[in-house]
């Protein structure tokens, strides 16, 4: 292939691995991981051997000197692209901090020795605009994107979802949406979404996510409490709201016949099994850059209901797959659950 894509990213994520797979069908791929200290724990849980393109990956270590990491990159790049005449090299990176962007500049310079057309393209999540940290976040973004304009000459960006993408339009000529295509293609090629029927007499509702305010699990519990029909709620996740949620659920179960199950943590296989046992997945986040669990649910033929602040709402092209409600609106969430129940009775 005459085109090379270098993914310069922090720790691997399922979402980005899917994107890498997509690009690999018509490009050569190199992957350089440069985690921050905070990503190290997450990284340590991932075995590089289980990831695709094992031989095309390089992992940098955050707590060594800059020089040492630069040498590693140089050796890796020289070894991999030596004697290959690529017509075009694209560097996709997900960094906003100036420190790591400096490495992207260096990487671009290294590639210029073997190819004339080098493009650096940021691959970012949507920006959260609805919390108190909006101002520092926007300042950081402004500094980072200005740096990229000057030193990397970036004029195009890939974002995971359309959510708040108008911000990026202020900086880049072209904003390309890049949701998890592999699953998206699967939806539209293999799935007969018309056949989404309730599998049981009661509506089985699933929430998977961190039990934190941003994911807004309380709104789902309140909507569930108000449902007039037989339903069951399953919550999977951990977080600082866990105790509050457990207490609330206990109270609901004490005063009604409602069934609520809570699991702290499940492995991937258990999550898949759980999905197939449920009728609807609800992700009511106040903000979610993408919300990968939504694509997994759609893939498992589970109906999804998400708030309009969840990036993966872009995957819901019609009401057969799922529905979108206004962030934090209890009545709208309840209405969509009622409508979904109607499909079953």
Site residues, other proteins (CB under 8 A)? 162, 228, 308, 313-326, 331-332, 335-336, 338-339, 342-343, 345
Instruction: Between 77 and 304, name the residue whose CB sits nearer to other proteins.
Output: 304
Nearest partner of 160 among 138, 183, 142, 139, judged by Cα? 183
Least separation in angstroms between residue 221's CB and other proteins is 19
Cα dihedral 120, 124, 128, 132 sign: negative
Least separation in angstroms between residue 336's CB and other proteins is 7
Least separation in angstroms between residue 274's CB and other proteins is 23
Give the pair of three-digit tokens for residue 105: 């500049």
- DSSP-derived pairing of the beta strands 88-93 and 156-159: unpaired
Instruction: Between 46 and 193, name the residue whose CB sits nearer to other proteins.
Output: 193
Instruction: Between 214 and 343, name the residue whose CB sits nearer to other proteins.
Output: 343
Is residue 260 classed as helix, strand or coil in its secondary structure?
strand
Instruction: Between 15 and 340, name the residue whose CB sits nearer to other proteins.
Output: 340
How many CB atoms lie under 10 A from the CB of residue 15? 21
Least separation in angstroms between residue 248's CB and other proteins is 23
Alpha helices (runs of H) in 207-241, residue ranges in sequence order = 217-226
CB 11 within 8 A of CB 44: no
Least separation in angstroms between residue 114's CB and other proteins is 40
CB-neighbour burial class of residue 263 (10 A; exposed 0-12, middle 13-18, buried 19+)? middle
Instruction: Between 10 and 334, name the residue whose CB sits nearer to other proteins.
Output: 334
Least separation in angstroms between residue 302's CB and other proteins is 14
What radius of gyration, in Å, describes the C-alpha atoms of the chain? 22
Least separation in angstroms between residue 44's CB and other proteins is 36
Instruction: Between 245 and 280, name the residue whose CB sits nearer to other proteins.
Output: 280
CB 324 within 8 A of CB 313: yes
Instruction: Between 13 and 338, name the residue whose CB sits nearer to other proteins.
Output: 338
b/e per residue, 291-301, with b = 16+ CB within 10 A? bbbbbbbbbbb
């Amino acid at each position: 292939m005459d085109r090379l894509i270098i993914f310069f990213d922090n720790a691997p994520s399922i979402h980005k691995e899917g994107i890498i797979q997509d690009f690999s069908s018509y490009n050569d791929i190199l992957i350089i991981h440069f985690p921050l200290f905070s990503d190290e724990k997450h990284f340590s849980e991932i075995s590089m051997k289980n990831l695709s393109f094992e031989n095309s990956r390089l992992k940098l270590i955050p707590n060594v000197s800059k020089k040492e990491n630069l040498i590693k990159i140089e050796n890796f790049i020289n070894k991999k692209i030596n004697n290959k005449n690529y017509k075009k090299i694209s560097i996709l990176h997900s960094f906003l901090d100036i420190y790591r962007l400096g490495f992207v500049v260096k990487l671009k310079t290294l590639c210029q020795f073997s190819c004339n057309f080098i493009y650096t393209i940021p691959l970012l999540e949507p920006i959260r605009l609805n919390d108190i940290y909006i101002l520092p976040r926007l300042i950081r973004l402004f500094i980072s994107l200005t740096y990229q304009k000057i030193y990397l000459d970036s004029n195009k960006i890939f974002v995971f979802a359309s959510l708040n993408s108008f911000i990026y339009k202020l900086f880049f000529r072209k904003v390309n949406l890049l949701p998890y295509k592999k699953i998206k293609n699967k939806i539209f090629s293999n799935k007969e979404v018309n056949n989404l029927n309730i599998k049981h007499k009661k509506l089985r509702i699933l929430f998977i996510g961190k039990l934190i305010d941003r994911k807004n699990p309380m709104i789902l519990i309140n909507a569930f409490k108000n449902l007039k029909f037989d339903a069951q709620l399953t919550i999977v996740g951990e977080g600082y709201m866990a105790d509050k949620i457990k207490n609330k659920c206990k109270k609901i179960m004490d005063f009604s016949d409602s069934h609520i199950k809570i699991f702290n943590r499940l492995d991937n296989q258990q999550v898949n099994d759980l999905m197939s046992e449920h009728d609807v997945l609800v992700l009511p986040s106040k903000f979610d850059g993408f919300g990968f669990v939504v694509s997994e649910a759609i893939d498992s033929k589970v109906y999804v209901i998400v708030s309009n602040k969840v990036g993966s709402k872009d995957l819901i092209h019609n009401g057969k797959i799922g529905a979108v409600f206004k962030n934090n609106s209890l009545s709208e969430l309840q209405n969509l659950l009622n409508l979904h129940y109607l499909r079953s009775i």
